[in-house]
């Protein structure tokens, strides 16, 4: 949450000439309701069910840069789908950066009550090992604007893909 998934994802999609998909936007499109309303009416469990369905639909579609909700990794099925479906980048931001970026954002149901900082620490502790388990690359966005993060990440991804491709199709010996 607050790591820049949507902003950076859009920039990367443009850079690579791919479609961009956001699983939260897909949920809202399918239901006609905002995420806070879904949480209010169905609770986190109902939202996570909708999230699983939306993620599966997006992953079954054409190649795209996909931004998932931060909690998508909580579901083992989602983790399997993500790991099997492409190159997974874990965008990281520490809690102080998240607090700063989300200071005026009141649309996050998980941050709607109580101590936002404590909630973000709890979520990070819960989710970090799950991200680490499936991510092909972890990228720290904390000190970067979305545009700078996207430029640096695009260069890293191009390097990763070239390296991976050279292992699969090595250059012939001269």
What is the per-residue pLDDT across 75-110, written as a single tens digit (0 to 9) for each? 999 999 999 988 899 999 888 887 787 777 677 767
* Mean pLDDT across the chain: 86
Report the DSSP pairing between strands 64-67 and 89-92: unpaired
pLDDT for position 165: 45
pLDDT for position 167: 43
* Binding-site positions for Mg(2+): 6
The average pLDDT across 107-133 equals 85
Give domain limits for the chain.
Answer: 5-168
The average pLDDT across 38-61 equals 93
Q: Does 5-168 carry CATH code 3.40.50.300?
A: yes
- What whole-number distance in Å separates Cα of residue 81 and Cα of residue 73? 10
pLDDT for position 172: 44
The average pLDDT across 28-52 equals 92
For residue 162, name the pLDDT band (cuts at 50, 70, 90).
low
Burial, 47: exposed, middle or buried (Cβ in 10 Å; 0-12, 13-18, 19+)? Answer: buried
* Binding-site positions: 2-7, 24, 48, 70, 108, 127
- What whole-number distance in Å separates Cα of residue 12 and Cα of residue 20? 9
* Binding-site positions for ATP: 2-7, 108
Q: Specify the DSSP class assigned to residue 68.
A: P
**Residue 127 in contact with residue 71, Cβ under 8 Å?**
yes
Between 96 and 166, whose confidence is greater? 96
Angle at 59 between CA 170 and CA 84, to 5 degrees: 45
pLDDT for position 171: 47
pLDDT for position 125: 92
Structure token digits, residue 16: 């690579």
Inter-helix orientation angle 35-60/23-31, to 10°: 110
Q: What is the pTM of this model?
A: 0.82
Angle at 37 between CA 128 and CA 72, to 5 degrees: 20
In three-state secondary structure terms, 62 is: coil
Q: Specify the DSSP class assigned to residue 64.
A: E
* Binding-site positions for substrate: 24, 48, 70, 127
Q: How many residues does the chain have?
A: 174
pLDDT for position 163: 57
């Amino acid at each position: 949450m607050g790591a820049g998934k949507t902003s950076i994802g859009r920039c990367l999609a443009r850079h690579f000439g791919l479609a961009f998909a956001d699983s939260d936007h897909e949920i809202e499109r399918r239901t006609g309701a905002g995420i806070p309303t879904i949480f209010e009416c169905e609770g986190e469990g109902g939202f996570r069910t909708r999230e699983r369905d939306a993620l599966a639909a997006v992953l079954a579609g054409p190649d795209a840069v996909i931004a998932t909700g931060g909690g998508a990794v909580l579901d083992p099925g989602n983790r399997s789908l993500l790991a099997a479906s492409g190159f997974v980048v874990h965008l990281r931001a520490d809690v102080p950066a998240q607090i700063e970026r989300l200071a005026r954002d009141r649309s996050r149901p998980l941050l709607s009550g109580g101590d936002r900082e404590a909630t973000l620490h709890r979520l990070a502790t819960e989710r970090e090992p799950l991200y680490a388990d499936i991510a092909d690359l972890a990228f720290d966005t904390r000190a970067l604007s979305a545009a700078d993060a996207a430029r640096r990440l695009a260069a890293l991804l191009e390097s990763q893909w070239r390296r991976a491709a050279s292992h699969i199709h090595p250059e012939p010996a001269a």
